[in-house]
Amino acid sequence: MNTAFHNAINRVPQKTPPIWFMRQAGRYHKHYQALRAKNSFMQLCKQPELAAEVALGPVQEFDFDVSILFSDILFPLEALGMGLEYTDHGPRLGYKLSAETIHQLGDVPSAIEFMSFQREAVKATRQVLPSNKSLIGFIGGPWTLFVYASEGSHAGSLVQSKKNIDLFPQFLEKMYPLLKANIQLQLDGGVETVMIFDTAAGEVSPMFFQKRIQAVLTRLAQDFPGKIGYYSKGTQPVFFNKEFTDLPWAGQGFDHRCYLPASFKIQNKGFVQGNFDQSLLFMEPGDFKRELNNFLAPFKDMTLQERAGWVCGLGHGVLPQTPERNVKQFIETVREVFQ
């Protein structure tokens, strides 16, 4: 367990924020590349010892405070029989969800059993992680999974997903119990918190979010009080009404389109995670250091109480080809500024 991360969940004031990045174990990192050269992406996710080795790599090299289960949000779709392969052009499902195909979704008990490899991956990761590092898990947001099932991706305006929104409740009849069980098996394996990554949520309006998506998120948060964090890409503060922020979240992540110092008042409990623009990590070292210091400046002006809960990270995940030197510089600079 990482003390700084648990202080953030409990809003305990502290000088130095914990640090973790989404996709910190990924394609930018030579450690991952070496493993990927010998194994398929599917093998890295589904063989527990390999998943643990991938997750451990960036913690060993960059000293992140938190490690993340190495897996993928789309496996519940595979578990329900939609088929899944990873190609050079991204993931590909066997078919798209529609009124004609939704009956093809498989049974939930078999899907839950299928997902057990994640519990084993969590156990293997926890065994190799240093005892002073935290471990978190994740699932895809129900809406994001519906989008992938309907569109095959979440690029564009999500016309098909929005057109077929009346299928969403029927989709949830199977996806909700599967995600609930998926969260529980990760917790049983040893994660301390499970993040909901809702990367397609920002492609809808605030009203659509509140009327169509929020209800299922409410159920998940209430089923696991204090254990679930939420991150949505592209959303703005207006998306999150009082009913949402009053839920028993472990915390919330905000992408770089939000002003993070103001977000402590939006999410008034648990951690507030983010949110340096990940694209700026491609800058030359001197320019990068300047932009990072500009990002950190408002936090220096906040009292420890005002920024209690901060988990320092990126607005979204680490991008492929990101220079490792800037990842290292990010962590060193944050700890130097807030020592």
> Tens digits of per-residue pLDDT, 224-269?
999 999 999 999 999 999 999 999 999 999 999 999 999 999 999 9
Q: Which two tokens stand for residue 116?
A: 């057990």
Range 106-123 burial, b when 16+ CB lie within 10 A, else e: eebeebbebbebbbbbbe
Question: What pLDDT was estimated at residue 318?
Answer: 97
Residues 45, 75: Cα–Cα separation, whole Å: 10
The encoded tokens of residue 234 equal 């592209």
- The CA distance from 171 to 143, in Å, is 10
The CATH number assigned to the domain with range 3-337 reads 3.20.20.210
Task: Find residue 317's DSSP bridge partners.
Answer: none
pLDDT-based confidence at 155, cuts 50/70/90?
A: confident
Q: Can you give the residue ranges of every domain in the chain?
A: 3-337
Spatial distance between the Cα atoms of 252 and 248, rounded to a whole number of angstroms: 11
Quickly list DSSP for 121-171: HHHHHHHHS-TTSEEEEEEE-HHHHHHHHHHSS--TT-HHHHHTGGGHHHH
The separation between CA 259 and the C-alpha centre of its own chain, rounded to angstroms, equals 19
Residues 171-224: pLDDT tens digits?
999 999 999 999 999 999 999 999 999 999 999 999 999 999 999 999 999 999
| 65 contact partners, CB below 8 Å, separation of at least 6 | 2, 4, 5, 18, 19, 20, 133, 134
Summarize pLDDT for 38-85 with one digit per residue, the tens: 999 999 999 999 999 999 999 999 999 999 999 999 999 999 999 999
pLDDT at 80: 98
Phi, psi angles (nearest 5°) of residue 135:
-130, 125
Whole-angstrom distance, CA of residue 50 vs CA of residue 60: 15
pTM above 0.95, yes or no: yes
